[in-house]
Amino acid sequence: MDIANILLRFSVTLSGEFLVILALFIYIFYLHLQLAKKNILLKSIYERIEKPDSKLAKKDILLFLENLKNPEFSGKVTKDKLLDKKISDFLFENDKDIKLFLHYTSRKEVADKIVHDGFKFVNSFYKTAEYIYNDELYLVHRHHEHKQYGHFVIVICIQKEIYERYSDELGKIKAKNISVEQILTEKAPITDENSDEIYLLPKQFIKGYFDYTDGTITENPDFNSSYHSPVFQENLKRIKTIH
């Protein structure tokens, strides 16, 4: 074996080892960045906990910390437009006066139908609509949990005064398994093939929807968060007679 072949093999061995070392170095650097991001998030959480006016509940903090165990979770949205100012303005306009809910769907035609016809839900409104409030960390956490269901996000807004009025009435009669949203319907629920009751929230409570992948917003021209149909009161009376 001549010296040239020996040097060539030695060079190839060194090149392979160098690539392995370089790959390990890049991976270690990546892990360091992920750890730094999570440390920043933890610091942010602790700062919010210490604030007396913080809206974050203990269960929300625990759930968020649980998500940090996921190596793919960075704690913030980097590939979509959720935190863009125009989306934030669309979501939280008059947020102190409304109850705000989000529903995710993967199909634009479904989103358009909800805007046009209203929001269908089975028995429990909260199985498909997520309550949120104006807190960036809370919003990101909830978004991370639900974004897998689709990139079209339906925005549902109900005037707090209306919502709390019927909530108080339900509390007085101690109605079980009945939500305010079931009262805020104009059509009698229908029963599906699984014997579940399907309710329809009026389209007036649908502010519109946005696509979190490109930031486009579709507004509902009929939106009115303070919409109050006389049928709502009739629904309450019917529930009272049962309870």
Exposure letters 221-234 (e unless 16+ CB within 10 A, then b): eebebebeeeebee
Mean pLDDT value of segment 35-60: 53
Q: For residue 64, with 0-12 CB atoms within 10 Å meaning exposed, 13-18 middle and 19 or more buried, which class applies?
A: buried
Distance of CA 174 to the CA centre of its chain: 29
Q: Which residue has the higher pLDDT, 86 or 83?
A: 86
What is the pLDDT at residue 50?
46
Residue whose pair of structure tokens reads 């399907």 in the numeric block: 198
What is the pLDDT at residue 76?
47
> Please, which residues bridge with residue 206 across strands?
156
**How many whole angstroms separate alpha carbon 243 and alpha carbon 238?**
9
> pLDDT tens for residues 168-218?
999 888 877 889 999 999 999 999 888 889 999 999 999 999 999 999 999
pLDDT-derived band at 96, boundaries 50, 70, 90:
very high
The answer on pLDDT for 62 being more than 60 is: no
Segment (H or E) for 47: helix 3-50
Q: For residue 101, with 0-12 CB atoms within 10 Å meaning exposed, 13-18 middle and 19 or more buried, which class applies?
A: buried
What is the pLDDT at residue 65?
53
Considering only CA atoms, give the Rg of the chain: 26
Domain ranges of the chain: 3-67, 85-242
Q: Which residue has the higher pLDDT, 105 or 80?
A: 105
Mean pLDDT value of segment 79-108: 93
pLDDT-derived band at 27, boundaries 50, 70, 90:
confident
